[in-house]
């Protein structure tokens, strides 16, 4: 690589890409996106087969778009009209694949220096030394990839990709196989690195925890199209579409119809279809001709063993416990109040309330925990 001088900060990755591809279900999708990724972390979020990897492949040059343009700052990587299509080795794009693809026959040090062939030995050692230090793997230089842990391999792969001083970093679910603590530490180091080297980082995940942990902005992709774009909070905490809602982890989604509107309170009343259960939800401008859904996170619902009083919450629903199931340290209760609600509790809550299947309970849902989706 010839990019031995650091580039001015704040370059944007812009991509208008059109490409037909086959999703994981086997059906044909067309990826059609137009996006600008600023320096810093941008999360690319979506179900499998939504086109996330295809998009990254197009930026890196592993796949050729059917049409469009891809550029980093002023540098055009691909332009179907002027027939520019830089080979991947000239793109200055670092792409960390899920499989990492460390070279098994080389040591960590040799792996990291692989992309620095154009430099002399002294510069190579300085550069790789810095980045090995940043990712805390200096002590491993003489080991082979098979002799280090999964988390260390991850760090080495990052070091190898970033030592070339790329202008864009693409990460395709790189941390899925790691435990939460290892993952968090690696992400901290990556963020620290990104503060010093302001380049766009496009990070693919379908783990919503990662979206909040990392993202300065998020893009939601669905069947090849951008469904939502904004801050992680905007995209996931106030989801406007049901697909995003499911991705964002709404365990409870109900078909509803609006039965009353209270502009003076900023709320409206929704009847859950097929029941006589009413929910008070935030007032939204909704299109009456389209089906309306309300999404509620299982962790946002309070559960009481006697009728609670004096609460600010406007939705107090009585029901019976259908089932209680423990998953890790969470108790998942299914409560029938007409429609069934999924509620997540702690082990302590189950014990102190002495919850049992068949027992009567009250669910408490704040108005603002009800998310209107259309």
Partner 1 sequence: MIVQALTLTLRLAIMVSAILLVIGVPLAYWLAFSHRRWKFLVEAIVSLPIVLPPTVLGFYVLVAVGPFTPLGRWYQALTGHSLAFTFEGLVLGSVLYSLPFAVQPMATSFAAIEGKLLDASALLGASRWRTFWRIVLPLGLPGVLTGLVLSFAHTLGEFGVVLMVGGNIPGATQTVSILIYDQVQALDYATANRTALVLLLLCFTMLAILYGLRRHGGWNLWEWR
SS3 call for 293: strand
How many other C-beta atoms are found inside a 10 Å radius of the C-beta of residue 352?
10
Kindly state whether residue 124 participates in binding partner 1, applying the rule CB under 8 A: no
Pair 194, 201: CB distance under 8 Å? yes
Closer to partner 1 by CB, 99 or 312: give it: 99
Kindly state whether residue 373 participates in binding partner 1, applying the rule CB under 8 A: no
Closer to partner 1 by CB, 203 or 250: give it: 203
| Minimum distance of partner 1 from residue 160's CB (angstroms) | 7
* DSSP label at residue 235: I
Pair 61, 86: CB distance under 8 Å? yes
| Minimum distance of partner 1 from residue 157's CB (angstroms) | 9
Nearest residue to 48 via CA among 221, 296, 305, 192 = 221
* DSSP label at residue 234: I
Q: Collect all residues with Cβ–Cβ distance below 8 Å to 337 and sequence separation of at least 6.
A: 277, 317, 318, 319, 363
Question: Of 66-74, 104-112, 178-186, 305-313, which segment contacts partner 1 by CB under 8 A?
Answer: 104-112
Name residues contacting partner 1, limited to 1-40 (CB under 8 A).
1
> In whole angstroms, how far apart are CA 290 and each of 197, 246, 278, 371?
46, 18, 19, 16
Closer to partner 1 by CB, 177 or 253: give it: 177
Kindly state whether residue 349 participates in binding partner 1, applying the rule CB under 8 A: no
SS3 call for 32: strand
Among 26, 74, 117, 312, binds partner 1 (CB under 8 A): 117
Among 54, 164, 267, 367, binds partner 1 (CB under 8 A): 164
Name residues contacting partner 1, limited to 38-67 (CB under 8 A).
60, 62
Kindly state whether residue 75 participates in binding partner 1, applying the rule CB under 8 A: no
Kindly state whether residue 88 participates in binding partner 1, applying the rule CB under 8 A: yes
Question: Of 35-43, 156-164, 188-196, 228-236, which segment contacts partner 1 by CB under 8 A?
Answer: 156-164
The CA distance from 187 to 33, in Å, is 27
Closer to partner 1 by CB, 117 or 329: give it: 117
Kindly state whether residue 334 participates in binding partner 1, applying the rule CB under 8 A: no
Question: Of 103-111, 266-274, 302-310, 359-367, which segment contacts partner 1 by CB under 8 A?
Answer: 103-111
Degrees to nearest 5, angle at CA 94 with 76 and 180: 140
Kindly state whether residue 160 participates in binding partner 1, applying the rule CB under 8 A: yes
Question: Of 67-75, 112-120, 309-317, 318-326, which segment contacts partner 1 by CB under 8 A?
Answer: 112-120
Residues in the chain: 374
SS3 call for 359: coil
Question: Of 46-54, 111-119, 192-200, 297-305, which segment contacts partner 1 by CB under 8 A?
Answer: 111-119
| Minimum distance of partner 1 from residue 135's CB (angstroms) | 16
Nearest residue to 68 via CA among 49, 84, 86, 52 = 84
Kindly state whether residue 324 participates in binding partner 1, applying the rule CB under 8 A: no
Q: Collect all residues with Cβ–Cβ distance below 8 Å to 188 and sequence separation of at least 6.
A: none
Which helix or strand (DSSP H or E) is residue 310 part of? none
* DSSP label at residue 265: T
Among 101, 192, 307, 347, binds partner 1 (CB under 8 A): 101
Kindly state whether residue 105 participates in binding partner 1, applying the rule CB under 8 A: yes
169 φ, ψ (degrees, to nearest 5): -120, 125
Which residues contact partner 1 by CB under 8 A? 1, 60, 62, 87-90, 93-95, 97, 99, 101-106, 110, 114-115, 117-118, 160-161, 164
């Amino acid at each position: 690589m010839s990019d031995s001088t650091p580039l001015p900060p704040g370059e944007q990755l812009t991509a208008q890409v059109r490409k037909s591809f086959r999703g994981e279900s086997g059906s044909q999708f067309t990826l059609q996106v137009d996006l600008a990724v600023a320096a810093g972390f941008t999360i690319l979020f979506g179900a499998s087969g939504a086109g996330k990897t295809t998009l990254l492949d197009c930026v890196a040059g592993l796949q050729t778009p059917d049409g469009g343009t891809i550029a980093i700052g002023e540098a055009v990587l691909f332009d179907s009209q002027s027939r520019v299509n830089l080979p991947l080795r000239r793109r200055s794009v670092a792409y960390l694949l899920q499989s990492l693809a460390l070279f098994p026959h080389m040591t960590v040090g040799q792996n990291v220096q692989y992309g620095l062939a154009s430099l002399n030995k002294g510069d190579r050692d300085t550069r790789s030394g810095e980045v090995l230090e940043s990712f805390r793997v200096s002590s491993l230089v003489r080991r082979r990839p098979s002799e280090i842990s999964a988390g260390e391999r991850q760090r080495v792969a990052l070091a190898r990709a970033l030592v070339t001083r790329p202008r864009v970093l693409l990460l395709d679910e790189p941390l899925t196989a790691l435990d939460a603590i290892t993952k968090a530490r690696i992400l901290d180091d990556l963020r620290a690195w990104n503060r010093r080297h302001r380049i766009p980082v496009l990070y693919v995940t379908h783990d919503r925890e990662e979206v909040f942990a990392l993202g300065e902005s998020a893009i939601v992709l669905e069947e090849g199209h951008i469904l939502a774009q904004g801050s992680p909070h905007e995209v996931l905490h106030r989801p406007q579409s049901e697909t995003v809602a499911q991705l964002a982890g709404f365990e409870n989604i109900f078909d509803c119809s609006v039965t009353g509107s209270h502009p003076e309170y900023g709320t409206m009343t929704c009847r859950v279809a097929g029941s006589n259960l009413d929910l008070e939800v935030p007032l939204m401008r909704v299109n009456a001709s389209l089906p309306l859904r309300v999404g509620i996170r299982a962790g946002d619902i309070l559960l009481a063993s006697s009728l609670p009083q004096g609460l600010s919450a406007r939705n107090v629903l009585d029901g019976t416990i259908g089932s209680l199931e423990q998953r890790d340290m969470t108790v998942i209760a299914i409560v029938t109040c007409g429609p069934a609600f999924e509620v997540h509790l702690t082990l302590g809550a189950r014990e102190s309330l002495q919850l049992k299947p068949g027992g009567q309970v009250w669910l408490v849902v704040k108005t603002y925990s009800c998310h209107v989706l259309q």
